[in-house]
């Protein structure tokens, strides 16, 4: 049996199904992300696990114990909130020590454990500061330290990075992963940012309109998105009409009109060749410089396609250039129709 | 920013604040100065106030008469008790209010504020109808076979009516402080193993202390200088400072003595409120940075 298990967990607000019969098994030490657009039920799921929201149906089993109806204070889980939810009237030290004081840990042990965890999150020089004297990233670290110091069985992160600016967000992503690996703690993170979910999770759970639509490792999720929605939500994708040929391989339908199937082709999997060669001819409409990459929008007979090319230092193609496009047929992915609509 | 600085330097700010300043000076500073001057005027029971003669005798009379000590002491203990009761009722009430759902919160907030729309005199008479010798409460006691109790014209009547009048002034600043609270902080405390009572005591209360402080200052100040309720519910025997001032002016016609008592009340009130403010704010200023 998995360490943390959700069995048919549901939440209904009046006539609205916020979360529908969610099944999830998280192994010990695993880092799992709940990914989805806002309103998909991911935060509600996390709140049910934390105990702040009562489940309408289903069970939550932690390490063999049914905690569905347990009070939040008796679950002993570590929670990091989107707003950090630090206690503004306490110093960093007192914020972090709060959970240990509630557990009536002896003072000497508290001092030692607080010092250890503040070292772990690299906040040791700021123990006597108040939250309002800290930067966003430092507050985030305090929140993390406060949740970790009680040595919870599971760490719950609710959009932990959404209040940080872009540079800091990337830095904290890796920081969270480093700390998670060091402590070896089972972690469940809620996020709407696919890059965040892909970069630091062991597995990603995609949610849409209260339902889980795919659970996979980041790489498999990216390479084999199951539905149109996931393909578009996780990374960029070109959606093409297509059929399956006699050998069972997907083929792009070269005439316009709806194909029997929807195929997904990632922008970086398309090669740009000289005009006249390749499977498809097109003309560059517009280009965007992304630093490490160039993003081209190309008009073709199949509609507008997005192509991403590595910035290899050579001069980029200019707008209006005619190009040929090619790709390996096995990189086309067949998508299922969306079974749920947000 | 620079426009603001230029405006400050140019003195245009003073020009723009003239109407408010004029109102302030005419309606507050000037009467206060006149009262202060009046308190030093010589008073003669035959001739009335002598505008050109000055004396300290009213202050000496005041400070050498135990009757006035008793009245000042009564005024301040009643005000302190009213303030304490307002805190005890107001903090939980404001907290419950802030946790209410959308339609009910507005309804109850309006309910709390409506007493302010009714004249204090009307409310005081309302209480006297309830508490009087043959008022509703005594009728109920007699109907149950008890002996009638003297409620009206006691400190009890004054305190209960003052609490009723002052409660909104306590709830509103606490409510404002509560609005700034992050509800997730309470969830965080719960998830860290705190009981609901500990969340209140260690997380919520310390953060609403600035609101409680403003509330206590407003309520104490207004209670100590209140006139209508002690006048109507305290009766002729149970005097508070404001009612004594009224008596001096209108019964004794000793205006300088009335002015003296008013000045001393103002100074004593200021002293108590400033030291209370310093004491409480000193404790919370550093941590809350307010």
Q: Indicate the average pLDDT of chain A.
A: 90
* Residue B288 confidence (pLDDT): 59
Across the interface, do B184 and A50 touch by the CB < 8 Å criterion? Answer: no
Quick one: which H or E segment has residue A123? Answer: none
**Is A295 within 8 Å of chain B by CB?**
no
* Residue A342 confidence (pLDDT): 46
- Angstrom distance (rounded) from CA A49 to CA A71: 11
| Closest partner CB to B185 (pick from A51, A77, A87) | A87
pLDDT band at B285 (very low <50, low <70, confident <90, very high): low
Tokens of A240: 């093409």
Across the interface, do A75 and B185 touch by the CB < 8 Å criterion? Answer: no
**Is B122 within 8 Å of chain A by CB?**
no
Which residues of chain B neighbour A81 with C-beta distances below 8 Å?
Answer: 184, 187-188
Tell me: pLDDT of A87 over 70.
yes
Is B233 within 8 Å of B157 (Cβ atoms)? yes
What is the average pLDDT across B2-9?
Answer: 66
Find, in chain A, the residue whose alpha carbon is nearest to that of B180. Answer: A88
Tell me: pLDDT of B289 over 90.
no
Tokens of A40: 């998909």
Tell me: pLDDT of A267 over 50.
yes
Across the interface, do B192 and A150 touch by the CB < 8 Å criterion? Answer: yes
DSSP annotation of A280 reads E
What is the average pLDDT across A161-166?
Answer: 86
Q: Which of residues 154-183 of B touch A (CB under 8 A)?
A: 182
Tell me: pLDDT of B290 over 50.
no
pLDDT band at A256 (very low <50, low <70, confident <90, very high): low
What is the average pLDDT across B219-223?
Answer: 95
Tell me: pLDDT of B4 over 70.
no
Tell me: pLDDT of A203 over 80.
yes
What is the average pLDDT across B34-44?
Answer: 91
Across the interface, do B287 and A146 touch by the CB < 8 Å criterion? Answer: no
Q: How far is B190 from chain A (nearest CA, A)?
A: 5
> What is the percentage of chain A residues whose pLDDT exceeds 90?
66
Tell me: pLDDT of A163 over 90.
no
Tell me: pLDDT of B223 over 80.
yes
- Angstrom distance (rounded) from CA B201 to CA B241: 37
**Is B207 within 8 Å of chain A by CB?**
yes
Q: For A232-241, B76-85, B193-202, which range has the lowest pLDDT when averaged over its residues?
A: A232-241
**Residues with Cβ within 8 Å of residue B83, at least 6 apart in sequence:** B166, B216, B219, B220, B223
What is the average pLDDT across A155-170?
Answer: 89
> What is the percentage of chain A residues whose pLDDT exceeds 70?
97
* Residue A217 confidence (pLDDT): 95
Q: How far is B271 from chain A (nearest CA, A)?
A: 28
pLDDT band at B49 (very low <50, low <70, confident <90, very high): confident
Tell me: pLDDT of A237 over 80.
yes
| ipTM value for the complex | 0.84
What is the average pLDDT across A59-80?
Answer: 93
pLDDT band at A289 (very low <50, low <70, confident <90, very high): very high
Which residues of chain A neighbour B212 with C-beta distances below 8 Å?
Answer: none
Tell me: pLDDT of B261 over 60.
yes
* Residue A339 confidence (pLDDT): 64
* Residue A337 confidence (pLDDT): 76
What is the average pLDDT across A181-186?
Answer: 92
CATH of region B65-288: 1.10.3720.10
* Residue A259 confidence (pLDDT): 57
Find, in chain B, the residue whose alpha carbon is nearest to that of A133. Answer: B289
Q: How far is B130 from chain A (nearest CA, A)?
A: 45
10 Å CB burial of residue B222 (0-12, 13-18, 19+) is: middle
Tokens of A270: 């398309």
Tell me: pLDDT of A30 over 90.
yes
Provide the whole-model pTM: 0.82
Tell me: pLDDT of A341 over 60.
no
Q: For A7-16, B161-170, B216-225, B279-288, which range has the lowest pLDDT when averaged over its residues?
A: B279-288
**Is A203 within 8 Å of chain B by CB?**
no
Select the more confidently predicted residue: A252 or B243.
B243
Could you report the per-residue pLDDT of A143-154, keeping only the tens digit for each? 999 999 999 999
* Residue A168 confidence (pLDDT): 86
C-alpha A320 chain-centroid distance: 37
What is the average pLDDT across B215-221?
Answer: 94
Which residues partner with A66 through β-bridges? A61
Place of tokens 């195929």: A263
pLDDT band at A324 (very low <50, low <70, confident <90, very high): very high
Find, in chain A, the residue whose alpha carbon is nearest to that of B206. Answer: A89
Q: How far is B34 from chain A (nearest CA, A)?
A: 46
What is the average pLDDT across B157-163?
Answer: 93
Select from A63, A17, A27 the least CA-distant residue to A215: A27
Which residues of chain B neighbour A48 with C-beta distances below 8 Å?
Answer: none
Q: How far is B212 from chain A (nearest CA, A)?
A: 15
Pairing outcome for strands A154-158 and A78-80: parallel
* Residue A252 confidence (pLDDT): 79
Quick check: helix, strand or coil at residue B147?
A: coil
Domain ranges (residues) in chain B: 65-288
**Is B188 within 8 Å of chain A by CB?**
yes
Could you report the per-residue pLDDT of A103-140, keeping only the tens digit for each? 999 999 999 999 999 999 989 999 999 999 999 889 99
> What is the percentage of chain B residues whose pLDDT exceeds 70?
94
**Is B287 within 8 Å of chain A by CB?**
yes
Is A307 within 8 Å of A253 (Cβ atoms)? no
**Is A51 within 8 Å of chain B by CB?**
yes
b/e map A156-190, b = 16+ CB within 10 Å: bbbbbbeebeeebbeebbebbbebbeeeebbbbbb
CA B157, B161, B163: angle at the middle one, nearest 5? Answer: 120
């Amino acid at each position: 049996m998995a360490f943390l298990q959700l069995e048919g967990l549901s939440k209904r607000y009046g006539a609205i199904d916020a979360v529908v019969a969610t099944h999830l098994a998280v192994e010990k030490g695993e880092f799992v992300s709940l990914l989805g657009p806002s309103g998909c039920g991911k935060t509600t799921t996390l709140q049910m696990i934390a105990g702040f929201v009562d489940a309408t149906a289903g069970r939550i089993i932690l390490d063999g114990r049914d905690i569905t109806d347990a009070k939040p204070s008796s679950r002993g889980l570590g929670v990091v909130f989107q707003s950090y939810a630090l206690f503004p009237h306490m110093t960093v030290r007192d914020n972090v020590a709060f959970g240990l004081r509630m557990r009536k840990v002896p003072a000497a042990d508290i001092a030692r454990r607080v010092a250890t965890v503040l070292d772990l999150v690299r906040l040791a020089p700021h123990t006597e500061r108040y939250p309002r004297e800290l930067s966003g990233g430092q507050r985030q670290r305090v929140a993390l330290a406060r949740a970790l110091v009680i040595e919870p069985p599971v760490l719950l992160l609710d959009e932990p990075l959404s209040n940080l600016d872009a540079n800091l967000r990337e830095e904290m992503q890796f920081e969270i992963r480093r700390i998670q690996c060091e402590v070896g703690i089972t972690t469940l993170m809620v996020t709407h940012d696919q890059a965040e979910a892909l970069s630091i999770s062991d597995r990603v759970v995609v949610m849409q309109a209260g339902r889980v639509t795919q659970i996979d490792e980041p790489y498999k999720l990216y390479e084999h998105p199951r539905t149109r929605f996931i393909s578009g939500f996780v990374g960029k994708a070109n959606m093409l009409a297509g059929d399956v040929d006699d050998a069972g391989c997907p083929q792009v339908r070269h005439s316009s009109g709806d194909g029997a199937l929807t195929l997904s082709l990632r922008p970086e999997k398309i090669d740009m060749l000289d005009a006249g060669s390749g499977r498809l001819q097109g003309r560059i409409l517009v280009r965007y410089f992304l630093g490490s990459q160039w993003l081209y929008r190309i008009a073709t007979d199949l509609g507008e396609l997005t192509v991403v090319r590595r910035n290899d230092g050579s001069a980029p193609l200019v707008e209006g250039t005619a190009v040929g496009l090619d790709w390996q047929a096995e990189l086309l992915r067949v998508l299922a129709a969306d079974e749920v609509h947000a | 920013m620079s426009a603001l600085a230029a405006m400050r330097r140019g003195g245009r700010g003073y020009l723009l604040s003239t109407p408010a300043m004029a109102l302030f000076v005419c309606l507050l500073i000037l009467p206060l100065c006149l009262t202060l001057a009046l308190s030093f005027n010589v008073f003669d029971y035959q001739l009335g106030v002598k505008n050109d003669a000055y004396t300290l005798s009213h202050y000496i009379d005041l400070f050498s008469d135990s009757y006035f000590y008793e009245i000042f002491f009564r005024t301040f203990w009643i005000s302190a008790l009213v303030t304490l009761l307002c805190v005890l009722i107001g903090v939980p009430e404001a907290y419950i209010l802030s946790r209410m759902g959308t339609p009910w919160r507005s309804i109850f907030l309006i309910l709390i504020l409506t007493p302010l729309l009714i004249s204090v005199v009307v409310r005081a008479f309302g209480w006297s109808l309830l508490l009087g010798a043959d008022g509703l409460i005594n009728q109920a006691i007699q109907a149950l076979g008890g002996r009638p109790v003297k409620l009206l014209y006691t400190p009890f009547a004054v305190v209960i009516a003052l609490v009723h009048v002052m409660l909104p002034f306590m709830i509103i600043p606490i409510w404002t402080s509560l609005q700034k609270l992050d509800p997730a902080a309470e969830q965080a405390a719960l998830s860290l193993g705190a009981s609901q009572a500990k969340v209140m005591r260690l997380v919520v209360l310390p953060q609403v202390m600035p609101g409680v402080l403003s509330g206590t200052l407003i309520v104490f100040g207004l209670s100590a200088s209140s006139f209508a309720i002690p006048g109507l519910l305290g009766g002729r025997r149970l005097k508070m400072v404001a009612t004594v001032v009224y008596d001096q002016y209108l019964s004794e016609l000793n205006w300088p003595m009335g002015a003296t008592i008013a000045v001393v009340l103002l100074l004593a009130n200021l002293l108590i409120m400033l030291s209370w403010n310093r004491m409480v704010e000193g404790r919370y200023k550093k941590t809350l940075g307010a």
